[in-house]
């Protein structure tokens, strides 16, 4: 497992920074976003440090799939029968601010398309 001591999400994985954890597996962790953009806003991350989704898919393809398994279970737990959105912001244009890959799971309200 890879970790970056400067990375805020690695520090959450290590238990050094508290988080409202909603789901855990051997390879993934999911916790509520500090600044929720929807009634349900959960970040699903690999325990290992990868900067973006493509790097995770190359380095740990099984873990990439585990993110989607976790999202399905969290959506069911949160009662998101009407739907939800999964987002990987990747790079500056997409407004990625934390460079430890994370899946945003957003739900609990009707959403617009296209996103801003
Ligand atoms: P990005 O803009 O990189 O796609 O998303 C980063 C997300 O991480 C943002 O939605 C932001 O609110 C969230 N975030 C940043 N720092 C923390 C933190 O320390 N704890 C939690 N729970 N969320 C955080
Ligand atoms: Zn990290």
pLDDT tens digits along 43-99: 999 999 999 999 999 999 999 999 999 999 999 999 999 999 999 999 999 999 999
Number of domains in the chain: 1
- Asked, for residue 1, whether it belongs to a domain, the answer is no
- Asked, for residue 114, whether it belongs to a domain, the answer is no
97 Cβ closer than 6 Å to some ligand 1 atom: yes
- Asked, for residue 45, whether it belongs to a domain, the answer is yes
| 8 A C-beta contact, residue 116 and residue 23 | no
pLDDT tens digits along 20-47: 999 999 999 999 999 999 999 999 999 9
Rg for the chain, CA atoms, rounded: 14
**Upstream peptide bond of 45 is cis (omega within 30 degrees of 0):** no
State pTM to two decimals.
0.98
49 is catalytic: no
The ligand with the least distance to the CA atom of 16 is 1
32: three-class secondary structure by DSSP: strand
Centre a 10 Å sphere on the Cβ of residue 21 and count the other Cβ atoms it contains.
13
In ligand 1, the atom with minimum distance to the C-alpha of 19 is 22
How remote is the CA of residue 74 from the centroid of ligand 2, in Å? 22
34 Cβ closer than 6 Å to some ligand 1 atom: yes
- Asked, for residue 116, whether it belongs to a domain, the answer is no
What's the CATH number where 15 sits? Answer: 3.30.428.10
Tell me which residue of 15, 9, 113, 21 sits closest to 52, measured CA to CA.
Answer: 9
- Asked, for residue 115, whether it belongs to a domain, the answer is no
- Asked, for residue 51, whether it belongs to a domain, the answer is yes
User: What is the domain extent for residue 27?
Assistant: 8-107
35 Cβ closer than 6 Å to some ligand 1 atom: yes
């Amino acid at each position: 497992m890879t970790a970056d001591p400067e990375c805020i999400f690695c520090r959450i994985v290590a238990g050094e920074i508290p988080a409202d954890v909603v789901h855990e597996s051997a390879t993934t962790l999911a916790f509520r976003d500090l600044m929720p953009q929807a009634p349900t806003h959960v970040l699903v991350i690999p325990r290992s440090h990868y900067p973006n989704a493509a790097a995770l898919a190359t380095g740990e393809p099984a873990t990439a799939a585990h993110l989607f398994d976790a999202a399905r279970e969290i959506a069911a737990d949160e009662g998101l029968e009407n739907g939800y959105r999964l987002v990987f912001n990747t790079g500056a244009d997409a407004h990625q601010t934390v460079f430890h890959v994370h899946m945003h799971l957003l739900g609990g309200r009707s959403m617009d398309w296209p996103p801003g």
